[in-house]
C-alpha cells in the first residue's frame, strides 16, 4: 500500500492559490452584479451579500436591501429585538451503508491467523425513514452584534434491521460587524447521536474572523477559525482544530469553496490531523447544484499494538429539485495501514422540508 503523504504539497498549493487571489488587482467594474447575486446565493454568505450591496456605484434600492439584511441578522436593530424566526418539519428518507456504526470488514489477521468479529459489530446498510424538525431564531444584541440560535432533531428507523438512529444538535453564535468587509464571531455548539452500537456526544467552542474583498474575478470571503471540541464516545478526548477557508462568488454565476484544517494530536484516539476540501456550486437547469471533494488524514490510537493511520477521500453531489426538495449523494473511501480499517461508505438523502412558521 502506498502511504506517501500528499498533504504538505496540497496545502502549499492551496495557500499559494489563496495568496494569488488576495493579491489580485481590484477591478470591480469587470464584475457583473447580477452574476454575483446568483453566485452568492449558491455558496456565499449574508456577509458577502452585505459587502456586495455596499458598492458605491449601486442605486439606493441596494442600500435598502442591505439595511434589510443587516436587520434580519440582528446587527442593525434595537437590542433584544427578535429579527427572524423559523420552524420546519423535516421528513427523513435516506439510504445508509452503515446504519449501526459497525466495522466495514468481518475479520482481521493477527499473528498470521484470521479472527472473525461478531455479526452484531459488522456494518449493515438499508433504508431509513422517519422525521424531525429544525428551528432558528435571530436576535439583536446591540452595538453591531447579533445572536443566532439553531436547533435540530431527527429520528429514523430502518425497518429491514429494526434499528434506529437519533440525533440532536444545538448552536448559539454571536457575530459582530466591524465594517461591511470585516466580521468576527464566537459560537458554542453541541451534538448528540444514538445508534445501535452506542451513543456519542460532542460540544465545542469556535472563534473566527471573516474578511471580504473584491478581485478581478469576483467577491471572496476569507475565514480563519479556531475550534476546541470535547468528544464523549468510546474514548473521551479533547481536540483543537485550526482552519482556513475561502468562499468565492465568481463572475459567470458560479461559487467556489476551498479550505484546509489542522487538528491537534490526541493520545489513544484516531483523529483528524489534516483535512482539505474544495467545492463548486452552479445553476443547473435553473436550480442550484454543487459538488464537493475532500481529503483527510487521521492519526493516533493503536490496533493490536500497531499505530493506526487512515487516509479518507470523500465526494458529495447535491441538487435542489424544488425550493422544498433536495437530493444529495455522499461517498467516502478509507485506506488504512491496517487492512481491517479499510472501508467504503455511501449515502443517499432526500431533503424534503416543510415550513411550519
Residue with the larger pLDDT of the pair 3 and 239: 239
How many residues are recorded in the chain? 357
Copy the grid coordinates of residue 78.
Answer: 434595537
Q: Which of 53, 24, 16 is nearest to 37 (CA)?
A: 53
pLDDT digit string (tens) for 323-357?
889 999 999 999 999 989 999 999 999 988 766 65
| b/e map 300-334, b = 16+ CB within 10 Å | bbeeeeeebbbbbebebebbbeeeeebebebebeb
Q: Give CA separation, 97 vs 74, 100, 317, 332, 348, in Å.
A: 41, 9, 17, 11, 9
pLDDT digit string (tens) for 138-165?
999 999 999 999 999 999 999 999 999 9
Output the pLDDT for position 314.
Answer: 98
Q: Give CA separation, 52 vs 25, 43, 76, 98, 221, in Å.
A: 17, 14, 17, 43, 11
Cβ-in-10-Å burial (0-12, 13-18, 19+) of 228 comes to: middle
In whole angstroms, give the CA distance from residue 123 to residue 127.
Answer: 14
Supply the DSSP string of 122-150, one letter for each residue: B---EEEEEEEEEEEEEEEEETTEEEEEE
DSSP β-ladder status, 198-215 and 343-352 = unpaired
pLDDT digit string (tens) for 241-284?
999 999 999 888 899 999 999 999 998 899 999 999 999 999 89
**pLDDT at residue 51 greater than cutoff 70:** yes
Output the pLDDT for position 32.
Answer: 58
Output the pLDDT for position 252.
Answer: 80
pLDDT band, residue 55 (cuts 50/70/90): confident
Residue 248's SS3 state is strand
Section 119-145 average pLDDT: 94
Per DSSP, what are the bridge partners of residue 208? 185, 225
In whole angstroms, give the CA distance from residue 346 to residue 150.
Answer: 27
**pLDDT at residue 18 greater than cutoff 70:** no
pLDDT digit string (tens) for 56-69?
888 888 889 999 99
**pLDDT at residue 286 greater than cutoff 50:** yes
Section 113-121 average pLDDT: 85
Q: Which of 21, 13, 72 is nearest to 219 (CA)?
A: 21
Output the pLDDT for position 194.
Answer: 94
Q: Which of 142, 26, 2 is nearest to 77 (CA)?
A: 142
In whole angstroms, give the CA distance from residue 9 to residue 155.
Answer: 42
pLDDT digit string (tens) for 79-94?
999 999 999 998 999 9
- CA geometry: angle 226, 232, 238, nearest 5 deg: 35
Question: What beta strand segments (E) does the chain contain?
Answer: 82-96, 107-110, 113-116, 126-142, 145-158, 163-177, 182-195, 198-215, 218-232, 237-250, 254-263, 271-284, 287-303, 306-322, 325-336, 343-352, 354-355
Q: Residue 191: which residues within 8 A CB-CB, separation 6 or more?
A: 167, 168, 169, 201, 202, 203
Place of cell 471580504: 212
Section 33-38 average pLDDT: 70
Task: Tell me the percentage of the chain whose pLDDT exceeds 70.
Answer: 89
Output the pLDDT for position 107.
Answer: 86
Q: Which of 345, 318, 321 is nearest to 329 (CA)?
A: 318
Amino acid at each position: 500500500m502506498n502511504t506517501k503523504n500528499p498533504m504538505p504539497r496540497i496545502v502549499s498549493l492551496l495557500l499559494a492559490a489563496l495568496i494569488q487571489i488576495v493579491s489580485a488587482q481590484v477591478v470591480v467594474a469587470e464584475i457583473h452584479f447580477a452574476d454575483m447575486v446568483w453566485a452568492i446565493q449558491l455558496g456565499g454568505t449574508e456577509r458577502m451579500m452585505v459587502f456586495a450591496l455596499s458598492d458605491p456605484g449601486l442605486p439606493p434600492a441596494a442600500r435598502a436591501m442591505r439595511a434589510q439584511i443587516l436587520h434580519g441578522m440582528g446587527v442593525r436593530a434595537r437590542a433584544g429585538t427578535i429579527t427572524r424566526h423559523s420552524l420546519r418539519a423535516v421528513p427523513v428518507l435516506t439510504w445508509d451503508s452503515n446504519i449501526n456504526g459497525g466495522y466495514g470488514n468481518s475479520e482481521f489477521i493477527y499473528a498470521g491467523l484470521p479472527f472473525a468479529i461478531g455479526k452484531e459489530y459488522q456494518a449493515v446498510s438499508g433504508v431509513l425513514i422517519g422525521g424531525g424538525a429544525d428551528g432558528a431564531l435571530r436576535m439583536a444584541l446591540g452595538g453591531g452584534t447579533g445572536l443566532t440560535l439553531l436547533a435540530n432533531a431527527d429520528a429514523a428507523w430502518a425497518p429491514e434491521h429494526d434499528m434506529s438512529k437519533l440525533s440532536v444538535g444545538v448552536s448559539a453564535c454571536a457575530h459582530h460587524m466591524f465594517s461591511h468587509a470585516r466580521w468576527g464571531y464566537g459560537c458554542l455548539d453541541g451534538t448528540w447521536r444514538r445508534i445501535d452500537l452506542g451513543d456519542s456526544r460532542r460540544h465545542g467552542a469556535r472563534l473566527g474572523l471573516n474578511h471580504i474583498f473584491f478581485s478581478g474575478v469576483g467577491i471572496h470571503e476569507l475565514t480563519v477559525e479556531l475550534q476546541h471540541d470535547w468528544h464523549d464516545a468510546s474514548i473521551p478526548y479533547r481536540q483543537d482544530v485550526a482552519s482556513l477557508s475561502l468562499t468565492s462568488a465568481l463572475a459567470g454565476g458560479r461559487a467556489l469553496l476551498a479550505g484546509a484544517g489542522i487538528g491537534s494530536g490526541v493520545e489513544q484516539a484516531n483523529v483528524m490531523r489534516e483535512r482539505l476540501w474544495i467545492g463548486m456550486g452552479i445553476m443547473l437547469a435553473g436550480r442550484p447544484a454543487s459538488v464537493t471533494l475532500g481529503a483527510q488524514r487521521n492519526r493516533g490510537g493503536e490496533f493490536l499494538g500497531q499505530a493506526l493511520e487512515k487516509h479518507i477521500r470523500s465526494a458529495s453531489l447535491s441538487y435542489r429539485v424544488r425550493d422544498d426538495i433536495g437530493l444529495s449523494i455522499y461517498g467516502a473511501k478509507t485506506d488504512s495501514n491496517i487492512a481491517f480499517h479499510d472501508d467504503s461508505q455511501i449515502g443517499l438523502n432526500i431533503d424534503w422540508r416543510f415550513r411550519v412558521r
